[in-house]
Amino acid sequence: MSDVALIHVVDDDESQRVALLRLLGAAGFETRGYGSTGEFLLQPLPDQPGCLLLDMHLPGPSGLELQAALQRQGSGLPVVFLTGYGDVASSVRAMKAGAVDFLSKPIERDALLDAIGRALARDRALRAAGREAADLRSRFAALTPREREVFEGVVAGKLNKQIAEGLGIAERTVKLQRAQMMRKLGAGSAAELGALAERLKGLSSHHSSED
């Protein structure tokens, strides 16, 4: 994965698109240009930091429709909208759907770079959260079925003795399984296990809402 930010520019105005690509290239960004929503969707997104500069009014599917399509795909690519004329209703809809900003043409360089900076900061935060979630899921997946049962007992506030009685095993076995489970999860206390359980619950509910 490249660490250089990739800025995608979707604009059917070729002169505007080329001007933006040149400006962004001079600013040190890697760039890709597209003349339509369909052209953008045909290209697979690389695993690379970046954002999308998206013209609101495009031939065929609009910028808002592309934003919605990306959300359905589960893409967290931040969007900065561009428009040739003011459209309050569209701008409100775009911002409610999570757009970073809504800029009017002609685009001012400083305003554009500021919006891109905020978009890339959001992208970094989303990527960091994604890595953390993947790490947590991986650690939890490494638990044996018995270790998961002990985990559930601990986060429910049960003592080792109570867990042992509920599972029909010796208390010393629970202690051993608990130690192994905490080591795998990187937790040093029952409180930390409780916090991990809440994070796992949040990840599960977020995944379900995406489905």
Which CATH number fits the domain that encloses residue 30?
3.40.50.2300
Judged on CB neighbours under 10 Å (0-12, 13-18, 19+), 102 is buried
The predicted pLDDT at position 14 comes to 94
The predicted pLDDT at position 151 comes to 95
- Rounded Cα gap, residues 88 and 45, in angstroms: 30
152 and 125 in one domain?
Answer: no
113 and 56 in one domain?
Answer: yes
For 45, phi then psi, to 5°, come to: -80, 125
The predicted pLDDT at position 204 comes to 64
185 and 81 in one domain?
Answer: no
Q: How many structural domains is the chain composed of?
A: 2
126 and 31 in one domain?
Answer: yes
CATH number reported for the structural domain that contains residue 176 in this entry: 1.10.10.10
pLDDT tens, residue by residue, 133-186: 899 999 999 999 999 999 999 999 999 999 999 999 999 999 999 999 999 999
Structure tokens at 144: 């044996």
- Rounded Cα gap, residues 66 and 68, in angstroms: 5
Residue range of the domain that includes 17: 6-130
154 and 68 in one domain?
Answer: no
Angle at 205 between CA 77 and CA 133, to 5 degrees: 55
Domain annotation covers residue 21: yes
pLDDT tens, residue by residue, 7-47: 999 999 999 999 999 999 999 999 999 999 999 999 998 98
- Rounded Cα gap, residues 104 and 86, in angstroms: 7
71 Cβ contact list (under 8 Å, min separation 6): 97, 98
10 and 87 in one domain?
Answer: yes
Bond into 49 cis (ω within 30): no
Residue with the larger pLDDT of the pair 66 and 84: 66
